[in-house]
Each structure stands twice: as C-alpha cells, then as structure tokens.
Amino acid sequence: MRLRVRRSRDLGAMAAVALGVLIATGGHAEEAGPPPDRSAACALRARGIAKWEASIARQLLPGGYPEAVPRLLAYRDRYVRRYADSCIALNQIQSLGTHNSYHVIPRPALLSSLIRLDPQFLGWEYTRQPLPDQFEFEGIRQIELDVFADPAGGLFGFRPVLGLLGDDPIAPDPAMFEPGLKVLHVQDLDFETTCSTLVQCLLQIRDWSDAHPRHLPIAVLVELKDEVIPDPFQLGFATPIPFGPAELDLLDAEILSVFPPEQLLTPDEVRVPGLTLEASVLDVGWPTLGEVRGRVMFMMDNGGGLRIDYLAGRPNLEGRVLFTNGVPGEPDAAFVKRNDPVLDFGEIQDLVDRGYLVRTRADADTNEARTGDTTRRDAALASGAHFVSTDYPTPDTLFGTGYQVTIPGGSPSACNPLSAPAGCRPSGLEPDGGLPAQ
C-alpha cells in the first residue's frame, strides 16, 4: 500500500509539473530567443514567470503536490535567467559599489597625529578588502580608483612623514618607482593601498572577471587627482603632475594594455550609428545583461576641464574608453554622478527614469557609521541610482553601530526599484556568482 501511495504522489507531482509547463508556456515550447518585437516577447516571458510562480504556490497549498516544487522551481529559474539575458537592460538593475575601493587605513601613529591636527582626518578611518575579495564575498560590482600621473616613476615613492614617525619612508612596492599611473588617496598623507598602480588594480579585476565570465558588468569609477596639498612643515611633499591630454591618453592606453576590447563596454559599443551617445541611451536604451556579462566599463568621476579635455575632438567619446561624468543635454551624457541622495533625490529619480546611468553615495567620511544614521543610505537605495557606493559593504566594527549597506534582495545586485521590468527577479541577474555555465 505504501508503494502505491508513493507512486500516486509521484504521478500527481509529475502531473503538476506537466500542468505547470502547459500553463506557463501556453501549450507552446519556449523559443530560443525573442522574436524581432523584443518588447512583446519580453512581456510574454514575464507572464510566463508569473504563471510558474502561481503554479508553485498552488502546490504548497493543502491538496497540492509539494514534491513537484523543486522541478517547477527549476523551470521557473530557467525562465528567469533567459528573461534577464534578453529582456533586462544594464540600467534596470541596482548594484553595490565601494568608495575608494583600494583604501587602507593610515598607520595608527600617523592617523592619530593627523586627527590631533584636524578632526576631519577621522574620515580616513576605514579599510577596503582586496578588489577580488570585494567582488567575490561582498557582492561589489562598482568600484572607485583614485589615479595620479607619474610619468617618470618615483614621484610618490618617498613618504617623508613616515620618517618623522620612525618608519621607513621608502614605499615597499618597487612598482611605485616605475613610470605609470599610481593609485592612492592623498599623496604623502593617505597613501596605503591594496594595489599601488592602476595596472596592478586592473590585473586584479581582469583575473577575477576571467574566472567569472558571466558576472554582471563591473563599473570602475576613476577619479583623476592632481591637487597640491599644503606642506606646513616643509617636509618635501610631492607635487602631482597635472592631468592633460597626454595623461588622459595614457589612462586609456593603460586600460587597453590589460583588457582586450571584447572585455570592455565602451561608449562606441553603446552609441547607435547616426545618434549621439546621449540619444542612444535615452531613445534606444542600454545593452541587455546578456550582451554585457563578463564586461568591465570605466567612468570618469571628474567633470569640468578634465571632461572637456577628454572630449576634445570626440564629442560622443569616439574611440575613448571611459564614459564621462556627463551633463544632461550634452552629446556625451550617458553616465552622471549625483553623490547626495538626500539633496538630489528627485533629480536622481528623474535621471533614472530618463535612462541615464547614475551613481550615488550611501555614506561619507565615516559619519553614518559613527552615528548609525541610515537616512542617506535609505535615500540612496530608494532613489533608483544604479550604483550605490559605500564604505561599509560589511557591518562596521570600529564604532559600535553595525552600520552596513546592502542591496535589498541583492544576489548580489537587484532589480532596480524604479526601472526594472515586470519579469525581473534578483536570482536571474547573476546566477552561480557569474561562474561559467555548467
């Protein structure tokens, strides 16, 4: 009798699965890809996902067949993944980023000395994990690198302030004495980093990307730094090299020296022939996730003169690697930065609704971690900004508040709260952590 009951339940579960397939597909086999009318195909797939979920829910009710649920979930997940690849665009998700993603807290003696001089240096009291660990364990898909020009090498290799504290003032990484772009926060004062040069950082990104070829795009925000800082004790602080056309070309060249073109998402790939870059993203749209998995894109943090220099002779960023921090209404505007999600909340929502990619910050200068105030974090997430940057992707352990920023429902990214289509499910955005398909 037991055998009969079990077989009866098995047959019932099989019938439930078969019925689920018929309901979700409307009695037709799922097509390998959407027909030319993508919007119609995507609407059909979104309805199919909803039907799978309704069928699953029915099997969990009294009289249902819970044994059928795992197989129904497998069918639903296949739909969800295909929908993500063909129907969800890059600007329809929300991802977590880190601010100053290379940063390591200054040495205790140096930091305490700086804080005694000015409490504003409390804002440097945070440390990042190495970039691959941020991608792997913290779900980070947007990072920020501060870059200094060093065409001769060695400009930032001597840290005289360390000599005053009895430490070796010579940078331990020989790469700091070679020509090329360097990565650090503030010369001579806040220089500890998980990767000393831009190329070192990029190699870490590339190697992780190569091992996870189906990851969501990694967005790299690059801040170009050349500000001179005061040297009140005449210690001989380094004077940065101003960024000009040659340095901007070097930035592109160093990126291209690490990444093959097919691994990059550049303005040229997004721009539609005959349209400006801005019109391309606003009127036609960003690529789908299936078109940009495993890619890396670069965005410029700076505006003003550096943006103008980078655009010189290339109003739509023709041949350039980075997307500029654009001015809405200008031909190059595709990505924009709005760092204050409280003050700029309405504007961010408008920019997202229009089709720009937007980055904002959930916290700054360790203030939120010290107080536990989540106002800014909550506004950043609700604004619909595509990249929400934080210093705390894991809970704060220094100030006792446990402050943390995560993407609600993220795995690691989530459906954008403003722009995601109906069929979007977080589980389909980056299945298996971006590892190769089995």
CA distance 352 to 149: 33
- CB count within 10 Å of CB 371 equals 12
The pLDDT, as a whole number, for residue 436 is 84
Torsion angle, CA of 413/418/423/424, rounded to 10 degrees?
0
25: pLDDT strictly greater than 50: no
Higher per-residue pLDDT: 435 or 190: 190
* Distance separating alpha carbons of residues 204 and 214, to the nearest angstrom: 17
- Cβ atoms of 356 and 334 within 8 Å: the answer is yes
Q: What's the N-to-C CA distance of the chain in angstroms?
A: 40
Separation of alpha carbons 358 and 348, rounded Å: 7
Residue 182, helix vs strand vs coil: strand
pLDDT of residue 75: 87
pLDDT grade for 38, boundaries at 50, 70 and 90: confident
Which three-class secondary structure state does DSSP give residue 408?
coil
DSSP class per residue in 52-92 = HHHHHHHHTSTTS-GGGHHHHHHHHHHHHHHHHHHH-BGGG
Q: What is the structure's pLDDT at 23? A: 44
Q: Considering the chain, what is the average pLDDT of its residues?
A: 92
Write the CA distances from 229 to 123, 189, 243, 251, 304, integer angstroms. 17, 10, 16, 23, 20
Of 55 and 382, more confident = 382
Over range 184-205, report the average pLDDT: 98
C-alpha span between 401 and 412 (Å, rounded): 23
Q: What's the pLDDT band for 37 if we cut at 50, 70, 90? A: low
> Which amino acid appears at position 125 of this protein?
E
Alpha-carbon span 40 to 421, nearest angstrom: 13
d(CA 331, CA 64): 57
Asked if 131 contacts 102 with a C-beta cutoff of 8 angstroms, the reply is yes
Q: Is 11 exposed, middle or buried (0-12, 13-18, 19+ CB in 10 A)?
A: exposed
